[in-house]
Amino acid sequence: MRKRKVNIFLVFLVCSFLAWLVSRLSESYTQRTTFELVYTNVPDSLLLTKASKDKVDVRLRASGFQLLGFNFKPKVISIDLNSVDQNDAHYYISQEVYRRQIEQQLSGSMTLLEADRDTLFFDFFEVFSKEVRVRPNVEINLGQNYLMEGPLVVSPEVITIRGPKQEIAAIDHVSTLQMVLSDLSSDFENRAALYKPEGLENTTYSSNSVKISGKIFRFSEKIVEVPVQVINLPDGTDIRTFPDVLDVLCKARIDLLKNIEVSDFEIIADFNTARRNDQNLNVKLTKQPATVHSAQLLEDEVEYILKRE
């Protein structure tokens, strides 16, 4: 029975304390505090490098409930730099302007009684922009009997850099960080971060990375015998080459190699390039089908006999 009375007493004691606490917290109080300032909406033509203040001291009036909850939240106020003014070479926001911005971000029943009277001053760089190409720094090692179809694809190929004129004036491209892709045997797609030199502290990139991709295929080989054609012969002469056909080693997809014909190729020997007292002519492969990844002459010259008609 006695234990029960103690429990009842404790319940009433807790309820009384809570009622007193609610009554006290419902009253209005004043409190000094400090806001951290975060600067937003920097004009596109400017780059913020320094602000005269990153904190501001204030005195607030609010209910105990509000101040209690306020102490558990980050004390951050955004200052909109779209309202920045300029006087000669100085950029600033007056105390009246940023005070209004603080008041707008307080809850409706919270009152700003005092705030620092200092004007906020800012250092800006005038911002310039230019488009530059991205240069991939990628080492590609293909698996055995595999080739890459077409060039390496970089997306985006061009980015915009923004910063002070003295930092970006000499920049004509940006490179990716080095990447090594080994033993490739299938199509690939990777992200590559862009390299930013130490001298670009105030320069920004429209993208900090790019996509690197490529298509990989398994190839086969085929040798095609192609006749040699001689051009620029002197009038009244005929020529015979040894051999009169040369082997061309082709690499391509297996299905494409099946459709290759001799007429898709052309090997030319220019008689104007013949050297005195030399019975050899240099040859060049001047025509090959677009479907072939690579075509290589296995010999680069032929012997010849010149006949007069």
Asked if 201 and 234 sit in the same domain, the reply is: no
pLDDT of residue 264: 95
Asked if 141 and 201 sit in the same domain, the reply is: yes
Tell me the residue type at 63: S
pLDDT in tens, 113-133: 888 888 899 988 888 999 999
Low pLDDT (below 70) residues in the chain: 1-29, 63-74, 108, 309
Note whether residue 9 is domain-resident.
no
Q: Which residues lie below 8 Å from residue 228, measured CB to CB, with a gap of 6+?
A: 241, 243, 244, 245, 246, 267, 268, 269, 283, 302
pLDDT of residue 29: 62
Q: What is the CA radius of gyration of the chain?
A: 40
Note whether residue 48 is domain-resident.
yes
Among residues 125, 153, 183, the one where a domain terminates is: 125
Asked if 94 and 165 sit in the same domain, the reply is: no
Asked if 196 and 251 sit in the same domain, the reply is: no
Q: What is the CATH number of the domain that holds 106?
A: 2.170.120.30
pLDDT of residue 14: 46
Among residues 201, 218, 235, the one where a domain terminates is: 218
Give residue 97's domain range. Answer: 25-125
Q: What is the CATH number of the domain that holds 167?
A: 2.170.120.40
Asked if 143 and 161 sit in the same domain, the reply is: yes
Asked if 136 and 159 sit in the same domain, the reply is: yes
Could you tell me the strand order of the sheet in which 111-115 lies? 76-80, 28-40, 55-63, 111-115
Report H helices in the chain. Answer: 2-25, 64-70, 95-104, 165-168, 254-257
Asked if 213 and 230 sit in the same domain, the reply is: no
Asked if 214 and 261 sit in the same domain, the reply is: no
Asked if 268 and 234 sit in the same domain, the reply is: yes
Token pair for 59: 């005195």
> Pick from 125, 21, 34, 130: which is nearest to 74 by CA?
34
Residue 138 near residue 152, CB atoms below 8 Å: yes
Note whether residue 8 is domain-resident.
no
pLDDT of residue 2: 55
> Pick from 178, 182, 179: which is nearest to 141 by CA?
182
Residue 256 near residue 219, CB atoms below 8 Å: no
Token pair for 271: 């008689």
pLDDT of residue 150: 86
CA distance 247 to 62: 93
Asked if 31 and 118 sit in the same domain, the reply is: yes
pLDDT of residue 63: 61
Please report where in the chains the tokens 């926001």 appear, as a residue: 93
CA distance 292 to 289: 6
Residue 257 near residue 295, CB atoms below 8 Å: no
CA distance 173 to 188: 24
Asked if 200 and 245 sit in the same domain, the reply is: no
Note whether residue 5 is domain-resident.
no
Which H or E element spans position 225? strand 220-231
Note whether residue 45 is domain-resident.
yes
Domain count, the chain: 3
Bond before 227 cis per omega within 30 degrees: no
Among residues 189, 218, 247, the one where a domain terminates is: 218
pLDDT in tens, 199-231: 888 899 999 999 999 999 999 999 999 999 999
Report the predicted TM-score, pTM, of the whole model to 2 decimal places: 0.60
pLDDT of residue 111: 75
pLDDT of residue 69: 52
Asked if 252 and 198 sit in the same domain, the reply is: no
Note whether residue 121 is domain-resident.
yes
Note whether residue 227 is domain-resident.
yes
Residue 239 near residue 306, CB atoms below 8 Å: yes
Note whether residue 103 is domain-resident.
yes
Residue 308 near residue 237, CB atoms below 8 Å: yes
Torsion of CA 196, 197, 201, 204, to 10 degrees: -30
* DSSP label at residue 201: T
